[in-house]
């Protein structure tokens, strides 16, 4: 059974940093791209970014709203994906989800297969 467990959320002040982790099990982690999403209070799902598998260079793509502040990385030996969030803003307050991601090697498209339960990040002074 695929399991994705996010951790590292909590309360942080604006301008500070926070690192989220997503621990995966039940599938061959290194074969999959991994993604992060978020849902702010009362809003819809927002894609944050994804990281390709090493077979496709382990490169990343990000939403414009977080590009330059957030970084996704992965440790295939531990089956963990990370979301490093720097220069936090109050508008980053949200539940953050990680997902396993199917990557179309022919076109670069993706879709999101399995989702974790999420971890809450609150940015407030």
Partner 1 sequence: QSVLTQPPSVSGAPGQRVTISCTGSSSNIGAGYDVHWYQHLPGTAPKLLIYGNSNRPSGVPDRFSGSKSGTSASLAISGLQSEDEAAYYCQSYDSSLSVVFGGGTKLTVL
Query: For binding to partner 1 (CB under 8 A), which residues are involved?
Result: 35, 37, 44-47, 50, 61, 63-64, 97, 102, 104, 107-118
CA dist 43 to 39, 99, 117, Å?
6, 19, 17
Give how far Cα 64 sits from Cα of 10, 47, 76, 117, Å.
24, 10, 26, 24
Which of 37/82 has CB closer to partner 1? 37
Rg (C-alpha) for the chain, rounded Å, is 14
* Least distance between partner 1 and beta carbon 110 (Å): 6
Toward partner 1, which CB reaches closer, 104 or 125?
A: 104
Kind of pairing between the strands at 10-12 and 94-103: unpaired
Choice between 12 and 29, CB closer to partner 1: 29
* Phi, psi angles (nearest 5°) of residue 68: 90, -15
The nearer residue to partner 1, 82 or 116, going by C-beta atoms, is: 116
State the nearest-atom distance from the C-beta of 66 to partner 1, in Å. Answer: 12
CB of 73 to partner 1, least distance (A): 18
Least distance from C-beta 61 to partner 1, angstroms? Answer: 5
Q: Which residues contact 120 (CB under 8 A, 6 or more apart)?
A: 9, 10, 94, 95, 96
């Amino acid at each position: 059974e695929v399991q994705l467990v996010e951790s590292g959320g909590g309360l942080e002040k604006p301008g500070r940093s926070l690192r989220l982790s997503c621990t995966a099990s039940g599938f061959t982690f290194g074969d999959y791209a991994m993604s992060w999403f978020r849902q702010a209070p009362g809003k819809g799902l927002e894609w944050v970014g994804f990281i390709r598998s090493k077979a496709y260079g382990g490169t990343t793509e990000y939403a414009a709203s977080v590009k330059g502040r957030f970084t996704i990385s992965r440790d295939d030996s531990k089956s963990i994906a990370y979301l490093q969030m720097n220069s936090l803003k109050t508008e980053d307050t949200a539940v953050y989800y990680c997902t396993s991601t199917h990557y179309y090697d022919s076109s670069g498209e993706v879709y999101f297969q399995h989702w974790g339960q999420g971890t809450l990040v609150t940015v407030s002074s």
